[in-house]
Chains A and B, each alone.
Chain A
Amino acid sequence: MSAHTETAHGNEELNYLNWKTGIWSWLSSTDHKRICFLYLFAIMIFFIGGGIAALIMRTELAFSGAQIIKDPHTYNVLFTMHGVFMIFLFVVPGIPATLGNFLIPLMIGAKDVAFPRLNLFSFYVYVIGALIGGYAMLNPVDTGWTFYAPYSTTTDTSVSLMVFAAFILGFSSILTGLNFIVTIHQLRAPGMTWMRLPVFIWASYATAVIQTVATPVVGMTLLLVIAERMFGAGIFDPSKGGDPVLMEHLFWFYSHPVVYIMVLPAFGVVGEIIPVFSRKPLFGYKMVVISSMAIAAVGFIVWAHHMFVAGISDFSAKFFSIITFLVAIPTAIKVFNWVSTMYKGSISFKTPMLYAMAFVFLFMVAGTTGIYLAMLGVDVYYHDTYFVVAHFHYTIQGGAVIGLIAALHFWFPKMTGKMYNETASKAAFAILFFGFNLTFIPQFILGMDGMPRRYYDYPAQYQTLHTISTIGAYLNGFGYTFALINLLWTAKFGKVKAPRNPYNSVSLEWQTQSPPVHENFTEIPVVDQDPYHYGTPNHKHA
C-alpha cells in the first residue's frame, strides 16, 4: 500500500494528544480520536460497576443459603444492574464508540468522520442517558435487563426512568451508527474501493446498519412501557387487555440484532490481528466480508429463538429455529478463514495474537453451544437455565469483550505512542483466560442439571459447581483489572516509545505516525493495494 504521509511540519512530537491540552479541549473536542477516549473512560466505569455487581452475586451464590445478600430483592436488583450496565452502557457502545471512532477515518484515509459535531453530540447523549440511569438507581430496578411485562409494568421500582435512560442511550447508538455509515460511504480515500476496505471497516459498517435499523424499535417499545406505566395504556398488560408476548417480540426484535452489534466489531478486530501476526493475507477476504453482511441481515429475522417456550405457535418456533441455523453458518466460515490465515504463516505471539487465538477457542464454544439452543426440543430444556447464561457469556465476554481488550492492546501503540510491557500483559491474559473458563464451564454443567437462572438461592445439590464458578469469577475479575491497569499505567507513565508501525502492518492507519496528528494525514493517501498484502506472491508451496 503506497501511502504518502509525512510527519507533522516541524516538530515531530506534535500529535492529536498534545497539540491542545486542558480538560476543556478534551470535553469539547470533535476529533474522533479524542472522542474515542471520552467513550473509553465512560464505558470503563460501567464495566467496573457491572463487574462488581457480578462479583457480589457470585460471592452470594458460592454457597447455598443466604451469605452476604440478606434478601432476594437486593439480588434481583444486582442481576438487573449487571445486565443493564454491561449491555447498554458498556458492550453496545463498546468497540464501535471507542476503537470504531478511532480507527474508521484512519483506516479509510479520511481526516475525520462525516459529522464530527454529531459525533461529540452522540457522546453527550450517552452521558445524559447514563446520568438518568444513575438517577434511577435511587430506586433500583429489579426486572432484569429484559424488562418483561407485566412484571415491568407493575413493579414499583424506577422502571420508567431506567427504560427512558435506555431510550436515550439508544439514540446515541443510532447517531453513531448513522455517522459511521455515511463516513464509510463518502469519505474513503482515492483508490480505497469497497473491496480494499479492511474487514474491521466492513464489520463496523454491518454493525452500524444494525444500530441504525434495530435500535429505534426497542426505543419505541421502551416508550410504550413507560406509556403503560404512566398513562395506563393497555398494550402489554393483560389485565388491561394487552399482550405480554407482544412486548417480548418487540423487545427481542432489537435485542437479538444487538448481540451482533456487540460481536461483529470483535470479529473485525480478530480479522485485523491474525494476518498481521501471521504475515499472511486474510484467507478468503471476500467470504469474510459476505459473511459479515449476511450475519447482519439474517440476524434480523431470528429473534423469536429467545421465545420458543413463551407461548408462540409451534409453526413460529419451527421457522425461527431453521433461520437461526442459517445465521450460525457465516460465523463458522469466518472462524475457518481465520485459522486458515495462519497456515504457512510466520507466527509471532504478541499479546494481541494471544487474545485473537483465545477468541477462536472461546467463540467455538460460544457458537456450538448456540447450536444446542437453536435445536427446538433441546432448547425447551435449556431455556432460562444456566446453560444459556454460560452461552451468552461466552459470546459476549469471550467474544465482544475479549475483542475489545485485544483491540486495545493491538492499537495501543498507535493511540498512545507508547509500548506496554509484554510480560505483564501476557500474565494478565493468562489469568483472565483461565478465570473466565473456570467461571463458565461449571455453568454449562449446572444448566444440564436443570439449574434455573436469576435464582437468588438454589437447592444444595448444585453447590459444588457454584463454588468453583465463583473462584473462577474472582480470577476473571482480577485478570481484567490487571490487564487494564497495565494499559492505563503505561498510557500515563510509560517510558517506552512506540515506533510508527511496531507490528509491520500494511494497513493504512499504521502508515501515519504514532500517535497520529490531529488531521490523521497531512496529505490524503492514494490507495492502490488491499490491506492484507503480506507474503511473497507466487511463492512455491513446499
Chain B
Amino acid sequence: MLGLLGEQGSEFAHKVDFANDVVTIISVICTVAIVGAMLYFAVIYRQRDGKDHETPMIEGNNTLEVIWTVFPTLVCIWVAWLGYDAFVDLRSPPADAMEINVTGRKWAWDFQYKNGKKTTSELVVPVDQPVKLIMTSKDVLHSFFVPVMRTKMDVIPGRYTYEWFKPIKTGDFQVFCTEYCGNEHSKMLARLKVLPKAEFERWLADDSEERKLAALKPSDLGKELYAGKQCISCHSLDGTPRVGPSWLKAFGKEGELADGTKYKMDENYIRESILNPQAKTVKGYPAMGMPSYQGQLSDDEITGIVEFIKTLDGSQKVEVEAVAPKKSAAAAGATPVERGKALVHDTGNLCITCHSLDGSKLVGPSFKGLWGRKEKLSDGSEVVVDAAYIKESIWKPAAKIVEGYGPVMPAMYEGKLTDENLNDIIEYLKTLQ
C-alpha cells in the first residue's frame, strides 16, 4: 500500500507490508495527536508578558486513565496480531518446498543444491516455487537477509536454522549478512537470482562447469580462472606491466611496496592481494587499481591461481585467450542516469578502478568534465569526446588512446555490456561536469 519496504518479491511480502503500513499510519496519527495537543496547550495556556496566571489544581481523572490505558491496549492487540499473522506465514514452509543448503562463513555464502551443485555468493532459484533454506555457519554467527523477500534468519555454528520464501517475480536481488561477523561483514553479500522455471531446471542440471573444474589440476584451474575472472585484463603473462604487475617469473620475487617496505611474493602474499588488494601494493602501480575478489573465489580456486602463477617461470611460453565475460547484473535505477551511475560504480565493471570522478588523474582520464571535452590523442590527432568516441573506447579501448595515458584499458566489455548499458553510461557521464 504505502510501498515503504520497496519491491515485494515473495508471496507473503504483502502481509509484512500491510502490518508495516498499519503501524506506520497509527504511529503517525498518535504522534501528531499527542505532540499536537502538547503544542496546542503550550500556545493557548502560555504565560503572557511573563505573568503567571491562576491554574486549577487538577490532580487527575480516573476516566481518562482508563480510556488511555484501554485504547492503546486494543491497538496493541490489533497490531500484535498483524505481526503474528505475517510471522506464522514466514515460519511455515509448505511440505513441497525445494530445499537448498546454505552455509555462512567468514565472509561468503555457500549454497548447495540437492543434486550436489554448489555455488558461492549466488543463490539461484525458480520463480513461483517455494524454496526452503536449511542454514548453518562454519564459524561465527551470521544472518541471511533477503529484503525483497522480507525474510531473515541467523545462521549458527553447530546448528541448523531455516527460512523460506516463494518468489513471485524473476530478477536479481540483494542478499545481506545482517549479524556482525568481523572485518568483511559489510562485504558478505550475495545475489539472489530468480529464474523462470525452465531456465532454472537447465541451470540446475548443468554441471559441465563443475565437472570440468573438478577434473582440473590446480594450476590448470588457475589458468581457467586467469581468463574467466578477468585477471588477464590487468596482469600479463609475458612480462609487460599493465595496470598490475606481470605474472611472468613473479613467484618468489622480492621487491618494494608503495610504502617503502619489502615484500616477497609467496602464497600468502598472493592470497592477501586477491582478497584485500590495497593491503600491500607494489611500488609503481596504482594504489586503488585492483578490485577485491572477496566472496568470489573459493579457497580451492585461490590455491589454483597460486599454483598457476608458480608455473610461470619462463621455461615455456604460456598464452591464454581472453574469455567473453559474464553479463553484467541488471543495473538498478529508474532513469538512465541512475542506471548509468550504477554501472559505472559496479566494482565488477572496473570503471572507477582506473577513472576518477573528481578530476584526479589515475590510470585513465578522469570522468569529470570528460563529456564534450577536446582530447589530444597519442598519435597527435584531436578528438571531441562524444557518444561515438565513448562507445568506441569501451568496445575497442586500444583504438584512440588519450595522450599521456597507457594502452592498458581491458577489452572486456563486448558481451558484458549492451548498447543500452552504454547509452545509460553516457547519460551519467554527461552529468559529471
Contacts and interface: CB of A to CB of B under 8 A. Distances in A.
Q: Do A and B form a real pair?
A: yes
Contact of B143 (A314, A384, A533): A384
B84 interface: yes
A148 interface: yes
B31 A365 contact: yes
Contacts of A374: 80, 83
A460 B345 contact: yes
Given A73-B183, A368-B27, A377-B19, A461 B332 contact: yes
Nearest to A153: B140
Interface stretch (B50-58, B203-211, B253-261, B366-374): B50-58
A70 B68 CA distance: 52
B154 interface: yes
Interface in B65-115: 65, 68-69, 72-73, 76-77, 79-80, 82-87, 89-91
Interface string A326-343: 001100110111011011
B176 A344 contact: no
A333 B57 contact: no
Interface residues of A, number: 96
B41 A339 contact: yes
A4 interface: no
Interface string A514-542: 00000000000000000011111111110
B21 to A, nearest CB: 10
A364 B35 contact: yes
Contact of A284 (B30, B31, B45, B65): B65
B388 interface: no
A45 to B, nearest CB: 27
B37 interface: yes
B312 interface: no
Contacts of B50: 348
Given A72-B184, A376-B84, A377-B16, A385 B178 contact: yes
Interface in B331-350: 332-333, 341-342, 345
B236 interface: no
Contact of B15 (A283, A311, A377, A458): A377
A456 interface: yes
Interface string A48-76: 00000000000000001000001111001
B153 interface: yes
B182 interface: yes
A283 B57 CA distance: 9
Which of A72, A309, A378, A539 has most chain B Cβ within 10 Å?
A378
B154 A310 contact: yes
A381 B55 contact: no
A144 B42 CA distance: 42
A147 to B, nearest CB: 11
B161 interface: yes
B385 interface: no
Contacts of B38: 339, 342, 357, 360-361
Contact of B45 (A322, A343, A533, A539): A343
A437 to B, nearest CB: 12
A180 B59 CA distance: 28
A377 B83 contact: yes
A317 B87 contact: yes
Contacts of A384: 143, 145, 152, 178-179
B27 to A, nearest CB: 3
A452 B177 contact: yes
Contact of B185 (A317, A456, A461, A535): A456
A14 interface: no
Contact of A309 (B68, B77, B153, B332): B153
A369 interface: yes
Contacts of A343: 41, 45, 58
Contacts of A538: 57
B156 A281 contact: no
A244 B157 contact: yes
B409 interface: no
A151 B38 CA distance: 47
Contact of B141 (A151, A239, A460): A151
A418 to B, nearest CB: 21
A142 interface: yes
Nearest to A332: B72
A386 to B, nearest CB: 11
A532 B47 CA distance: 19
B60 interface: yes
Indicate the member of B60, B85, B184 with the most A CB atoms within 10 Å: B60
A244 B141 contact: yes
A325 B55 contact: no
A541 B56 contact: yes
Contact of A283 (B59, B90, B91): B59
B357 to A, nearest CB: 10
B6 interface: yes
Contacts of A345: 41, 45, 55
Contact of B4 (A317, A448, A453, A535): A448
Interface string A131-160: 000000000001110001011001100000
Contacts of B56: 280, 344, 535-536, 539-541
B47 A348 contact: yes
Contacts of B90: 377, 380
B19 A150 contact: no
Interface in A342-365: 342-349, 357, 360-361, 364-365
A322 B80 CA distance: 7
A8 B87 CA distance: 66
B58 A155 contact: no
A391 B83 CA distance: 18
A375 interface: yes
Contacts of A314: 87, 91
Given A280-B58, A287-B60, A154 B140 contact: yes
Contact of A349 (B46, B82, B341): B46
Contacts of A385: 145, 178
A372 interface: yes
A286 interface: yes
Contacts of B53: 346
B55 A369 contact: no
A375 B19 contact: yes
A13 interface: no
A318 B91 CA distance: 12
A272 interface: no
A377 B87 contact: yes
B150 A380 contact: yes
Contacts of B1: none
A225 to B, nearest CB: 14
A328 B19 CA distance: 18
B156 A311 contact: yes
Contacts of A143: 180
B5 A448 contact: yes
A361 B39 CA distance: 10
A375 B35 CA distance: 24
A72 B183 contact: yes
A458 B186 contact: yes
Contacts of B69: 329, 333
B141 A450 contact: no
Contact of A371 (B15, B23, B37, B42): B23
A150 B141 CA distance: 7
A522 to B, nearest CB: 30
B34 interface: yes
28 contacts: A64-B345, A151-B180, A244-B156, A280-B55, A280-B57, A285-B59, A287-B65, A310-B154, A314-B87, A329-B72, A329-B73, A333-B65, A335-B34, A342-B41, A343-B41, A346-B52, A361-B38, A365-B31, A368-B23, A368-B30, A375-B80, A378-B19, A381-B147, A381-B152, A449-B5, A534-B55, A535-B55, A537-B57
5 tightest Cβ-Cβ pairs between the two chains A and B:
A377-B86, A375-B83, A238-B158, A450-B147, A368-B27
Given A70-B278, A372-B27, A536-B55, 14 more contacts: A151-B182, A279-B52, A311-B154, A332-B68, A344-B55, A361-B31, A361-B35, A368-B27, A377-B15, A383-B178, A384-B152, A456-B185, A457-B186, A535-B57
